[in-house]
Amino acid sequence: MALAATVALAVVALSRGEPVNALWILVAAVCSFLVAYRFYARFIARKVMRLDPARPTPAVYRADGLDYVATDRRVLFGHHFAAIAGAGPLVGPVLAAQMGYLPGTLWIIVGVVLAGAVQDFMILFISMRRDGRSLGELVRMEMGQAAGVIALLGAFLIMIIILAVLALIVVKALAASPWGLFTVAATVPLALAMGAYTRWIRPGRIGEVSLLGLVGLVLALIYGQAIAQSPFWGPLFTLTPIQLCWVLIGYGAVASVLPVWLLLAPRDYLSTFLKIGAICALAVGIVIMAPPLRMPALTPFAASGGPVWAGGLFPFLFITIACGAVSGFHALIASGTTPKLIATEADAPMIGYGAMLMEAFVAIMALIGASILDPGIYFAMNSPAAVIGTDPQQVAHTVTAMGYPLSAEVLVQTARDLGEHTIISRAGGAPTLAVAMAEIFSHVVGGPAMKAFWYHFAILFEALFILTAVDAGTRAGRFMLQDLIAIAAPRFGRNEGPVPGLVATGLCVAAWGFFLHQGVSDPLGGVNTLWPVFGIANQMLAAIALMLGTVVLFRMKQDRYVWVTALPAAWLLICTGTAGWLKLFSADPKVGFLAHAAKFAAAADEGQLLAPAKSIAEMRQVIFNDRIDAALVGAFLAVVLALLVFALRTCFVSRRSAVPTVREVVGPAVAA
């Protein structure tokens, strides 16, 4: 197995000047993951954590048949994987493909083995030994009250940015796409009908109602084409990005206060099953099609940034591919429901480490998807209009000048094949991946005639689970915010009637809505600006989680093995610290928020207008947005530095202690 991994990696790394088959990357990744799982995960389990299969887990000693249930590990693996796999691992690798496929592939493989899977595994372990408590509580238990509050604040800010970025991806995919918008809009009444069905007609029949919903989705997809072409309905479903942005904000505000069984739960059924199904189908499709990679291994943009996002390989590759290699958000999942369901400590490697390897596999598939496309099409889809223009002729010319030959006819024909008006500047990853999925699926089923159907299927699948995440995330954000405010003003707590809840929901929606609106109105495409902020935030949360892991290892007196978490934590601190610093203070206006603001402020003072702003008011808006973004990045840096100080202090105290100071919760041997 190790041999196969080495050979496959060597083929990927050494092939020059001829197209490499995508299967080599897949084989290299899968073999590396298997080797890592067999050896590294086992090493961590036995030596570092010293897992004890005989020790009762919370699911055993607190069993209640509801929240705490000892669960078959295959069933739990499905639960955990479905909770961690989202849009992140699909989007980041697509954006990172601007540097060629090699840097992204290597970072996903190395990152997940040494950092991402370690983090998930470690947090699961820590939470499992402490009654299945959440990340915020764990930080408080091990590092003190103040550290807990700071971590909670950081998690809330990250939530806001994630919601804004996810919503932005939906806007980018659905703007001026009546077919796509109709099918996604159709899921709302469909979900309402499903909700009514599970509430009153056949309560609890999840499988049944999901199948009915699936039929509805396929019908919506099929009729969507006719709707899009209809002279009456077509224009009604053709919205500008700004209109869509307001629709989404309104949707988020309403959806997150509706009863959960009405809209959120049924749509979650649809999106979860569709997501898992599409991921499996993509894997099978890639294996059957065995497409060659058309993107070069390395592009000139690897050195200093390109049209899709600004900045060089270090540090920006490591924050662009966040989920898939290492994702801090998983720390919230691994300390959520999973530790309360795990039947024995012996299952922890498979759930904690294994599920994250699976997510990295999804990220690898997304990277393959972006790399099998014509690079010309890739750059036309992912570069902002401010760089390449909007007219096919002009776009083809600009992209060809970048070194990726593309003709206007190909651009127009591709859009027509997909049933879209245009595919230019559809940044955000989802549309690019949808094109790749359409290529792969239509190769297997239906041929070119089915391309448009598969494209919209892929868009629907991505938009559906992003919208579910927006809805669920707004609710979660509301509770986080209430908890935070209640620290200062107890009357704002969770059990104080409906008003604080509504206020917190409103604040939450306003916060992500602000960043969404800013991203949508940003002529550089928004993804350009917001994705790095999201990446920095997510990786900082990962650094916090790994620091917590380090603290716990010190407190367990496992000093010899702290490098397992300390090294990836240090690497993430370096990457996010550098990236955050550059985003704040880089003199290059393309990279640094403050430099960008200064450039616009200087121009505004002289009464000049800089593209894309069309008035002095818009100039002021650009400057204001830059400063908000800078403040946000600054806040993230402050949060992570504060926690670093707490972590170091705790580590030194533990080192001086002769005995373990770790605060594990030991359950009674036999459940009551």
Partner 1 sequence: MSGLLSTLRRICHLMVGMPAYEDYLAHMRDHHPDRPVMNRTAFFRDRQEARYGGRNGGRCC
Q: Which parts of this chain interact with partner 1 (CB under 8 A)?
A: 63-67, 69, 71-72, 74-76, 78-79, 82-88, 134, 162, 165-166, 198, 203-204, 206-207, 260-261, 264-265, 268-269, 272-273, 276, 323, 327, 329-330, 332-333, 336-337, 341, 469, 472-473, 475-476, 478-479, 534, 538, 671-672
CA distance 101 to 295: 7
> CA-CA distance, 229 to 238, in Å (whole number)?
11
Burial 540-550 (b: 16+ CB within 10 A, else e): bbbbbbbbbbb
Task: Give whichever of 364 and 594 is closer to partner 1, judged by the CB atom.
Answer: 364
CA neighbor of 87 nearest in space, from 168, 2, 13 = 168
510 CB neighbour count, 10 Å cutoff: 12
How far apart, in whole angstroms, are the C-alpha atoms of residue 425 and residue 646? 44
Helix 498-521 vs helix 451-488: angle between axes, to the nearest 10 degrees? 130
Tell me the one-letter amino acid at 593. F
Query: Least Å distance between CB 583 and partner 1?
Result: 19
CB 562 → partner 1: shortest distance, Å? Answer: 27
Q: State which residue, 273 or 581, has the beta carbon closest to partner 1.
A: 273
Q: Which residue, 46 or 494, has its beta carbon nearer to partner 1?
A: 494
Nearer to partner 1, 211 or 510 (CB): 211
How much is the CA Rg of the chain, to the nearest whole Å?
Answer: 24
Q: Which residue lies nearer to partner 1 by CB, 471 or 626?
A: 471
Cβ(128)–Cβ(345) under 8 Å? yes
Distance in Å, CB of 474 to partner 1, minimum: 9
CA dihedral 292, 297, 301, 304 (to 10 degrees): 160
DSSP H helical ranges for 489-526: 498-521
**For 266-301, what is the HEC assignment?**
HHHHHHHHHHHHHHHHHHHHHHHHCCECCCCCCCCH
* Nearer CB in complex with partner 1: 71/650: 71
Cis amide linkage into residue 612, ω under 30° from 0: yes
* CB-nearer residue toward partner 1: 268 or 345: 268
Q: Residue 204 or residue 498: which is nearer to partner 1 going by CB? A: 204
Q: Do 536 and 579 touch, CB atoms closer than 8 A?
A: yes
Measure the CA–CA gap between 181 and 281, rounded to whole angstroms. 23
Under a CB-based contact definition with an 8 Å cutoff, are residues 210 and 273 in contact?
yes
Min separation Cβ 335 and partner 1, Å: 8
Task: Give the CA-trace dihedral at 34, 35, 38, 42, to 10 degrees.
Answer: -120
Instruction: Give, in degrees to the nearest 5, the angle at Cα 186 between 271 and 171.
Output: 75
Tokens 């505000």 sit on residue: 253
CB of 471 to partner 1, least distance (A): 9
Of the candidates 181, 208, 99, 117, the residue with the CA atom closest to the CA atom of residue 420: 181
Whose Cβ is closer to partner 1: residue 134's or residue 400's?
A: 134
Residue 172 C-beta: closest distance to partner 1, Å: 16
Shortest distance, CB of residue 77 to partner 1, whole angstroms? 8
From CA 256, how far away is CA 243, in angstroms rounded? 20
Nearer to partner 1, 375 or 532 (CB): 532
Smaller CB distance to partner 1: residue 327 or 442?
A: 327
Give the span between the Cα atoms of 212 and 219, in whole angstroms: 11
Supply the minimum distance, in Å, between the C-beta of residue 330 and partner 1.
6
Of 337 and 407, the one with the shorter C-beta distance to partner 1 is 337
Residues in the chain: 672
Minimum CB separation of residue 114 from partner 1 in Å reads: 20
Residue 223 beta carbon to partner 1: minimum distance, rounded to whole angstroms: 27
The answer to whether 543 and 569 are in contact (CB under 8 A) is yes
Report, in Å, the least distance between residue 354 CB and partner 1.
14
Between 199 and 590, CB nearer to partner 1? 199
Minimum separation from the CB atom of position 492 to partner 1 (A) = 15
Residue 84 or 297 with smaller CB distance to partner 1: 84
In the complex, minimum distance from the CB of residue 261 to partner 1, in angstroms, rounded to a whole number = 5
Taking the alpha carbons of 402, 403, 407, 411 in that order, is the dihedral positive or negative? negative
Least distance (Å) from partner 1 to the CB of residue 393?
37
| DSSP string over 457-499 | HHHHHHHHHHHHHHHHHHHHHHHHHHHHHHHH-GGGSTTS-HH
CB 539 within 8 A of CB 532: no
